[in-house]
Structures are given as structure tokens and as C-alpha cells.
């Protein structure tokens, strides 16, 4: 999906098969940690373009192409079907962790801000855009918890929200709005 033509191909295939999309979940994740950090530079710089293309570019391309080809023309139908884009980010996009996460974390911070901008723009044609920022999954929380958080977020009517999903949130049964 990091190649520009692939997003268009996916949109074409989905629309041909299903005829509509009510929920787009962007769960792109290109990740590697750089143990020598950004100061060492070589591996972080080598990963930069690929990480941004996958973690930010692919979700943007899919959201834009679905909007252009399907959602933009019918705000009433979009609202009736509660259409929503959910971008899966990371807690790393909100806070600094050690261990060489600079490039990865910056992509997730960019995705969070892009989510807010898309929400502002897409509200004019009735499509909501939200995000989830889970901690590491499945290492720290089960993937099923992230999927359940997507479902809960999709059932709501909010837009422009980034929900944090951390170990404590899973234990208490509630995500934190951000």
C-alpha cells in the first residue's frame, strides 16, 4: 500500500466486490526501532521514506480515494450509514519512549494530526474520521482489544477524536479520548 497505485487498486477491488464502504480501518504499521537513535542516523534515515509512505501515506491515500470515488457525493447517505474512517496509530505518537522509536513515533504523531484534519474536512459530507492510539499489541494488549475498540468507536457518532488504548484502559474497560 505504500505505492501510490496500490491504494487505487484496493479501492477499485473493494467497490467492485461490495459496492460501498461504511468503515475504513487503516492499520498500517511499518516499524523498526533504531537502538542507536537518530544521532547515529544511517538506519533511521534509510527507514524514513518507507515508514512515512506506509504509516501516513497509505492511510491518507485510501481515505482520499474512498472520499473521491464514493463518499463525497452523498452526505445524507454517509450520515445515515454512520460512515467512519478509523486510523490506528500508537501511544508512541503521543509521548516519547526510549529505545529508538523516533521515526516510527513521528509517523504516528503525523497520522494523529492528519486524522484531525481529515475529520474537519470530511464532516462536510458526513463521514467521520477518528483514531485509536493503542499501546503495543499483541505484546502488551491483545489484538482483540484493539479490534473491540475500533467497533466501539465506530458505533459512536464522534469525529476528530484520538482514543488511547493502554493496558490500564483495557483492565478498566474504557479508552481515553484525546
Percent of the chain beyond pLDDT 90? Answer: 70
How buried is residue 95: exposed, middle or buried, by Cβ count under 10 Å (0-12/13-18/19+)? exposed
Local structure of residue 177 (DSSP, 8 states): E
> Residue 4: pLDDT above 80?
no
**What DSSP string describes 48-116?**
HHHHHIIIIIHHHHHHHHHIIIIITT-HHHHHHTT-EEEEE--GGGTS--TTT-HHHHHHHHHHHHHHH
Q: Is the pLDDT of residue 80 over 70?
A: yes
Q: Give pLDDT tens digits for 9-23.
A: 999 999 999 999 999
Q: What is the pLDDT of residues 92-133, one digit of tens each?
A: 998 998 888 999 999 999 999 999 999 999 999 999 999 999
Mean pLDDT score across all residues of the chain: 91
For 38-67, what is each residue's pLDDT tens digit?
887 788 889 999 999 999 999 999 999 999
For residues 151 and 155, give the distance between their C-alpha atoms in angstroms, rounded to a whole number. 6
> Which of 1, 6, 136 shows the shortest CA–CA distance to 56?
1
Under 8 Å CB-to-CB from 95, ≥6 apart: which residues?
A: none
Amino acid at each position: 500500500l505504500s505505492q501510490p497505485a496500490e491504494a487505487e487498486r484496493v479501492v477499485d477491488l473493494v467497490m467492485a466486490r461490495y459496492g460501498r464502504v461504511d468503515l475504513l480501518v487503516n492499520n498500517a504499521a511499518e516499524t523498526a526501532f533504531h537502538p542507536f537513535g537518530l544521532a547515529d542516523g544511517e538506519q533511521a534515515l534509510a527507514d524514513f521514506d518507507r515508514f512515512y509512505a506506509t504509516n501516513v501515506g497509505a492511510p491518507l491515500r485510501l481515505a482520499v480515494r474512498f472520499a473521491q470515488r464514493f463518499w463525497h457525493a452523498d452526505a445524507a447517505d454517509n450520515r445515515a450509514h454512520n460512515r467512519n474512517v478509523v486510523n490506528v496509530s500508537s501511544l508512541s505518537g503521543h509521548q516519547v519512549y526510549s529505545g529508538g522509536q523516533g521515526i516510527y513515533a513521528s509517523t504516528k504523531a503525523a497520522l494523529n494530526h492528519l486524522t484531525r484534519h481529515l475529520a474537519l474536512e470530511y464532516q462536510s459530507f458526513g463521514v467521520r474520521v477518528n483514531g485509536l492510539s493503542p499501546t503495543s499489541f499483541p505484546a502488551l494488549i491483545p489484538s482483540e482489544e484493539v479490534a473491540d475498540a475500533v467497533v466501539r468507536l465506530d458505533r459512536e457518532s464522534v469525529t476528530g477524536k484520538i482514543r488511547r488504548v493502554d493496558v490500564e484502559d483495557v483492565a478498566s474497560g474504557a479508552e481515553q479520548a484525546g
